[in-house]
Amino acid sequence: MAAPTRLGGFPAVLAAVLMVAAPAAATPGDADRGEEIYAARCLQCHGEDGDGLSPAEERLNPPPRDFTSGDYKFRSTAFEDFVPNDDDLMRMVRDGMNGTAMPGWGDILSEQEMWDVIAYIKTFAGLEEEQPSAQVDYGTMIESSPDSIAKGRDLFLASDRCSECHGRDGKGDAVKRLKDDNGARTWPRNLTKGWTFRTSNAPKDIFTRISVGIPSTQMPSFADPKSKKKLSIEERWHVANYVASLADSERVVRADNTVIKAAKVDGGLPSSPDDPAWTEGPPATFFLVPQIVAGERFFTPANDSITVRALYDDTAIALLVEWDDRTQSIPGDAKAEAIAEDGMGEDAVAIQFPVTVPQGMEKPYFLMGDATRPVNLWQWSSGTTDTSEGVTLADARGINDRRERDASASGLTATGSYRDGTWRVAMTRPLTTDAIGDDLQFSEGRFIPIAFFNWDGSNGETATKHTMTTWYWLLLAPAAGSRPIIAAIVVALLILGALILWARGAAKRSGS
């Protein structure tokens, strides 16, 4: 088969990952058996003809792969070779692809069944008899080190080689409107979120991606000798080590971290979202999922996680909500609208609390409460060219039953800050208000349900089109004080006393 070169006219989109596999042997699969498995497992997304035109197409982000094009994004054959290794395909079928709807089938299908499926999907593009002609040249791997990472950063930034799309800090916040060869909107990878790389953010996988590019997208190959931004093998290892070093280890979703522990502080609460005092509150990070339950549903989100810290003192509570957002959405601003989807709205975030803390585990309906269990919504919006940022307070008994109230009467304030692809919004409210029965009243030591809603205005997210979390917990942890120290001393004295008694007893027994 001919080997089309995917050079593209666009510079640097670094992104996720792929295969490091060795060249594959001939596929040991049976296409006839694979067709039956495909019909049962794959057809719903990839379509009967393998062209990705299925009922699910418009509701998946990214859309399902079109096998008829033979354009595989994540392969370890050389950039000028169109044919993937069979091991590349096996890895995708077996392990799935991070950040997409493609699951791993390794726990469901046998290895032979997966080879059978691979044999079948290759027939869509007539690849069943094709063999790769060239592999990625890895040369001699350069281990990660401070020196290699520093060199990689220089290459990343030089002439905007990678930062043109991925931003100076790798958050994908450079302002370019990107589309793939099929016209679908694509967003540069946020390289600080290693868990979103399609296969992994290991340096060798990143090296592969830099070398091959991502066919059908604007991520070019940096091994292409015709490219003005070509990198040598050694340089690609430095860039790979730098990109791997960008992984954020603090703002990571941890399944066992379901409680936001508000720390009690003295000397007042921070008023600015950029105040270093926020570090006194431990972060908790949660996944955002699209709202597909009611109203106008939403299936193609751009933001994927949110991080929260909380502080309180004797009179008030403050929460800092952070999320990475590639674009600062400013309705009315020509530059912002140039890279946004139609109908751009404001960026926004809302915190949801039950009006009354439930006595048991039963909480209000997670999507803005219900008729018998209303919720409070604290919502901050970023503003437009004509209006400044603002905060609203609402009581809700469901997504279509919302009553706006005066936020200032309850003492609710909010301030936002956007920098380097990240929003930080600080919200503050007194622990108690006069609106007992309408406002949640905060107190120490209680587990309070809390949930979040998020809108990326540049992604066309307005009204019921947004992302959200499920319920989590907020705990105003009492100040530690001296009680733990006293308890530790008491325990130590008890142990010491027991040892003395034991020693005396032993001495008497040895002397008798």
| CA–CA separation, 143 and 151 (whole Å) | 13
Distance of CA 92 to the CA centre of its chain: 20
Residues sharing a CB contact under 8 Å with residue 22, sequence separation 6 or more, in sequence order: 85, 87
Check pLDDT > 60 for residue 17. no
- Looking at residue 181, its pLDDT comes to 82
| pLDDT on residue 179 | 85
Residue 155 has pLDDT above 70, yes or no: yes
pLDDT digits (tens, 9 = 90+) for 246-263: 999 889 999 889 999 999
Contact call for residues 463 and 453 (beta carbons, < 8 A):
no
Helix (H, G, I), strand (E, B) or coil at 421: coil
Burial class (CB in 10 A: 0-12, 13-18, 19+), 31: middle
Kindly report the pTM of this predicted structure: 0.82
- Average pLDDT value over all residues in the chain: 89
- Asked if pLDDT for residue 24 goes beyond 80, the answer is no
The mean pLDDT of 362-378, rounded to a whole number, is: 95
Instruction: Give the pLDDT band (50/70/90) at residue 491.
Output: low
Give residue 11's pLDDT: 41
- Whether cis (ω within 30° of 0) applies to the bond prior to 215 is no
Grouping H, G, I as helix, E, B as strand and the rest as coil, residue 336 is helix
DSSP 408: G
Whether the predicted pLDDT of 81 surpasses 70: yes
| Structure tokens that stand for 166 in this block | 């991925």
Contact assessment for residue 90 and residue 96, using Cβ atoms and an 8 Å cutoff: no
pLDDT in the model for residue 229: 92
Q: Residue 437 has which token pair? A: 């029965």
Share of the chain above pLDDT 70, in %: 88
Q: Is 295 helix (H, G, I), strand (E, B) or coil?
A: coil
What pLDDT does 494 receive? 59
Is 28 a residue whose pLDDT tops 60?
yes
User: How does DSSP assign 114-140, residue by residue?
Assistant: HHHHHHHHGGGGT-TT-----B----S
| pLDDT of amino acid 487 | 52
Tokens representing residue 279 in the block: 């570090």
Is residue 474 predicted with pLDDT exceeding 90?
yes
d(CA 500, CA 478): 36
pLDDT in tens, 125-137: 999 999 999 999 9
Query: Angle 168-171-172 (CA atoms, 0-180°, nearest 5)?
Result: 90
Tell me the C-alpha distance between 466 and 153, whole Å: 35
The pLDDT assigned to 507 comes to 61
Distance CA 25, CA 14 (A): 29
Token digits of residue 356: 């009354």
> Of 26 and 156, which is predicted with more confidence?
156
> Do 391 and 384 touch, CB atoms closer than 8 A?
no
Q: Check: CB of residue 312 under 8 Å from CB of residue 320.
A: no
Beta strand pairing call for 316-324 and 422-430: antiparallel
332 in Cβ contact with 385 (< 8 Å)? yes
Specify which residues 381 forms β-bridges with.
Answer: 348, 390
- Pick the residue with more confidence: 482 or 453? 453
* Rounded CA separation 349/414 (Å): 11
What pLDDT score does 61 carry? Answer: 83
Hey, which residues does 472 pair with through a beta bridge?
450
CA dihedral 101, 102, 108, 110 (to 10 degrees): 180
Average pLDDT over residues 81-96: 94
Selection from 62, 346, 294 nearest residue 183 by Cα: 62
Please choose, from the candidates 90, 66, 113, the residue with its C-alpha nearest in 3D space to the C-alpha of residue 18: 90
